[in-house]
């Protein structure tokens, strides 16, 4: 049964080839596609019809009755969500009869509601609050005791359930049937005793479980990560993209005090509809936890304990300025190139950086004259929905921009081997966690002992930043402007949502400055992501026509090689 209900889902997919019809809503003539739900047509045209159970990405339930409207010639009010538009339909959403019906629905919903908005995470973005204010009555006509129910019930590892707030719209049930296809939730009981629940053996633990908290129109299902963390009206919301795999789910970052409080999905029908996975949603703490590298560091050999041999004792590092660290790095690179040639340098790029950062990195590598250039793309489990095997946001962008070995150059594995064997003199690693994992503890020791310099650029600590000769702090994605290219070649905008610490700079700026210092050239123009993307568009054919001005909030597909001018504009994302 659940397989078929998904097919009845409304929205754009199944109406595409139907013929247009004319309907009149509140006196406005509107052209719509036959068969579309009246409710969606109204919403798409900026006419608000209050609703709880309807969700554009779920099948129609028709259970809340909040969306009732008056349709000319119909014997009684009809629910707009389950009424397909037909030619000549005349609809009134503002008459007294409709207002009275809405008031009645609100009264029934609130009879047992605990009214605990002051301690409810949903307050401020709650349909019940909004509609109560807009369509309800200010007074209660009953004084009988309110029904008691489960409070703060751990319905899953990452989701909390408050039964008293639930209005039984069944969005969550339909989500687990139709979207996650895991079927953990049902309505148990009847009448007054109806409640959402799971079986004891199968709590709500699927990989997408927190989406139920997003679509719950009230504060009945809540994300545990965000529970009692911050009132939503204090959050500044910024559009961004999830950095945790190559799907590139569109998100909104909620920022308070320059820290990410939560990440929620943002609708993009070309990428993630209105969903995101739990792992991606919760993987933001690295942007602000104690693993952040915030100070440039230089290992000062003069202060190192001499007796400890392979460099392990020489781990005394001194905080320095960014200028001094960049200068030191340039000197090491210059030294190695002048004595041994460009082939003595190995560079590992990072699929976590933006297109703009990586373009500057490619330019730096060209300036260094080394073919030993590659990256390590972390991989992990995937599914046939959103979760992709490449656990980085921009592996496709890195490939498109040429992060790969030059002629006769070493690949990532060979670069790390070359560092351990002493074949390479200087190793520049950008984004070090994956390289550290591949090298292992002894590999890192060997490499440090053999190399003249290990230069690491990273936003977060790793065994490699701990061992490096020079550490240049990087930024996390939420601190910079730029773009990522997802697994399907869709370029999507990320926006600066947090202020970087002190005078830290995006990696693109570091690479540009390093290239200039290496060549003893004049300082480059101040780094600007928008300008860099314009340079990319001019220089890399796949990126032609891609720029901050054209990406919008939904992104654009990379041009297929050869298919000039075929970049397909995306359907605009909707809230």
Partner 1 sequence: MGVLSEELKQRIADEFPKYPEKRAVLLTALHFIQAEHDGWIPPGASKEVAELLEIHQIDVEEVISFYSLFHDEPVGKFHIQVCANLSCCLAGARPLIRAFEEKLDIRSGEVTEDGVFSIAEVECLGSCGTAPMLQVNNEPFLENLKPDDVPGILDKLRSRLGEGKR
| Residue ranges in contact with partner 1 by CB under 8 A | 183-184, 186-191, 198-199, 201-202
**Which CB sits closer to ligand FES, 54 or 226?**
54
- What, of ligand FES, partner 1, ligand SF4, none, does residue 199 touch, CB below 5 to 8 Å by kind? partner 1
- Stretch of 8-16, 108-116, 232-240, 269-277 lying at the interface with ligand SF4 (CB under 6 A): 269-277
Beta strand extents in 420-560 (DSSP E only): 426-430, 453-458, 470-473, 482-485, 490-494, 556-557
Task: Give the number of other Cβ atoms within 10 Å of residue 172's Cβ.
Answer: 28
Candidate ranges 4-12, 95-103, 210-218, 401-409; the one touching ligand SF4 (CB under 6 A): 210-218
Q: Smaller CB distance to ligand FES: residue 19 or 193?
A: 193
Using CB under 6 A as the binding rule, whether residue 461 contacts ligand SF4 is answered as no
Segment lying near ligand FES (by CB under 6 A), choices 49-57, 293-301, 418-426, 565-573: 49-57
Q: Is residue 410 close enough to count as binding ligand SF4 by CB under 6 A?
A: no
Taking CA atoms, 263 is separated from 149, 222, 234, in Å, by 29, 13, 15
Question: In angstroms, what is the minimal distance from the CB of 190 to partner 1?
Answer: 5
Beta carbon of residue 189, minimum distance to partner 1 (angstroms, whole number): 5
| 199/310 with CB nearer partner 1 | 199
The tokens describing 515, both together, are 């290239």
CB 83 within 8 A of CB 18: no
* Residue 68 to residue 81: CA distance in whole angstroms: 8
Can you list the pairs that 50-54 forms with residues at least 24 positions away whose Cβ atoms lie under 8 Å?
A: 50/102, 50/127, 50/131, 50/134, 50/135, 51/80, 51/81, 52/127, 52/131, 52/167, 52/169, 52/171, 52/217, 53/81, 53/169, 53/170, 53/171, 54/81
Q: How far, in Å, CA of 128 to CA of 133, rounded?
A: 8
Q: 3-state SS string over 92-133? A: ECCCHHHHHHHHHHHHHHHHCCCCCHHHCCCCCCCHHHHHHH
Q: Is 65 in the site for ligand SF4 (CB under 6 A)?
A: no
The correct pick among 6, 24, 44, 62 for binding ligand FES (CB under 6 A) is 62
User: Which tokens sit at 504?
Assistant: 């830290």
Q: How far is the CB of 64 from ligand FES (least distance, A)?
A: 3
Rounded to 5, what percent of the chain is helix, strand, coil? 35, 20, 50
* 466 CB-near residues (< 8 Å, 6+ apart): 315
Residue 277 lies near ligand SF4 (rule: CB under 6 A): yes
4 binds, among ligand FES, ligand SF4, partner 1, none (CB under 5 to 8 A by kind): none
Binding mask 302-321 for ligand SF4 (x = CB under 6 A): --------------------
Q: Please, which residues have CB within 8 angstroms of residue 540's CB and are 6 or more apart in sequence? A: 359, 400, 401
Instruction: Tell me: does residue 85 bind ligand FES (CB under 6 A).
Output: no
Q: Which does 188 bind (CB under 5 to 8 A by kind): partner 1, ligand SF4, ligand FES, none?
A: partner 1
| 79 near ligand FES (CB under 6 A) | yes
Distance CA 497, CA 476 (A): 10
Is 166 one of the binding residues for ligand FES (CB under 6 A)?
Answer: no
Binding site for ligand FES (CB under 6 A): 51-54, 62-67, 79, 81
Binding site for ligand SF4 (CB under 6 A): 166-172, 196, 216-218, 220-221, 242, 244-245, 247-249, 272, 276-277, 279-280, 386-388
């Amino acid at each position: 049964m659940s397989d078929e209900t998904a097919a009845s889902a409304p929205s754009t997919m199944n109406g595409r080839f139907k013929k247009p019809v004319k309907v009149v809503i509140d006196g406005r003539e509107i052209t719509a596609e036959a068969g579309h739900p009246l409710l969606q047509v109204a919403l798409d045209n900026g006419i608000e019809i209050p609703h709880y159970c309807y969700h554009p990405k779920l099948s129609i339930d028709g259970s809340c009755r909040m969306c009732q409207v008056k349709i000319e010639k119909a014997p009684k009010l009809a629910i707009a969500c389950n009424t397909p538009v037909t030619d000549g339909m005349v609809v009134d959403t503002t008459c007294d009869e409709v207002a009275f019906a809405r008031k009645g629905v609100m009264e029934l919903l609130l009879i047992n509601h605990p009214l605990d908005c002051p301690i409810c995470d949903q307050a401020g973005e709650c349909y019940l609050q909004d509609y109560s204010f807009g369509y309800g009555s200010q007074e209660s006509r009953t004084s009988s005791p309110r029904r008691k129910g489960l409070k703060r019930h751990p319905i899953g590892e990452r989701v909390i359930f408050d039964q008293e707030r639930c209005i039984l719209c069944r969005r969550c049930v339909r989500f687990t049937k139709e979207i996650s296809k895991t079927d953990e939730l049902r309505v148990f009981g009847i009448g007054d005793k109806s409640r959402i629940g799971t079986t004891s053996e199968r709590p709500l633990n699927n990989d997408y479980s927190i989406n139920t908290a997003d679509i719950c129109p009230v504060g009945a299902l809540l994300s545990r990560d965000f529970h009692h963390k911050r009132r939503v009206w204090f959050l500044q919301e910024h559009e961004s993209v999830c950095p945790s795999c190559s799907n590139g789910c569109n998100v909104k970052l909620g920022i308070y005090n320059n820290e990410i409080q939560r990440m929620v999905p943002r609708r993009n029908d070309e990428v993630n509809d209105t969903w995101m996975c739990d792992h991606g949603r919760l993987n933001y703490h690295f942007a602000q936890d104690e693993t952040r590298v915030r100070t440039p560091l230089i290992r000062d050999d003069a202060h190192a304990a001499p007796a400890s041999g392979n460099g392990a004792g020489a781990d005394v590092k001194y905080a320095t300025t960014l200028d001094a660290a960049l200068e030191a790095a340039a000197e090491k690179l210059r030294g190695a190139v002048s004595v041994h040639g460009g082939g003595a340098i190995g560079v590992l790029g990072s699929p976590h950086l933006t297109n703009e950062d990586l373009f500057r990195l490619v330019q730096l590598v060209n300036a260094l004259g080394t073919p030993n250039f590659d990256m390590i793309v972390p991989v992990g489990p995937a599914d046939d929905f959103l979760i992709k095997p490449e656990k980085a946001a921009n592996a496709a962008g890195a490939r498109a921009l040429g992060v790969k070995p030059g002629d006769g150059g070493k690949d990532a594995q060979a670069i790390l081997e070359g560092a351990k064997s002493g074949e390479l003199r200087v190793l520049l690693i950008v984004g070090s966690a994956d390289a550290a994992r591949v090298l292992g503890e002894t590999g890192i020791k060997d490499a440090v002992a053999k190399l003249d310099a290990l230069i690491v650029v990273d936003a977060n600590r790793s065994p490699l930043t701990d061992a490096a000769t020079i550490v240049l702090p990087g930024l996390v994605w939420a601190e910079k402007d730029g773009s990522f290219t997802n697994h399907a070649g869709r370029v999507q905008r990320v926006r600066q949502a947090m202020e970087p610490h002190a005078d830290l700079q995006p990696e693109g700026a570091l690479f540009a400055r390093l290239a200039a210092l290496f060549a003893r050239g004049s300082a480059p123009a101040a780094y600007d992501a928008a300008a860099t993307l314009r340079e990319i568009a001019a220089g890399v054919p796949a990126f032609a026509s891609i720029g901050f001005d054209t990406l919008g909030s939904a992104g654009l597909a990379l041009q297929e090689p050869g298919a000039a001018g075929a970049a397909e504009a995306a359907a605009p994302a909707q809230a």
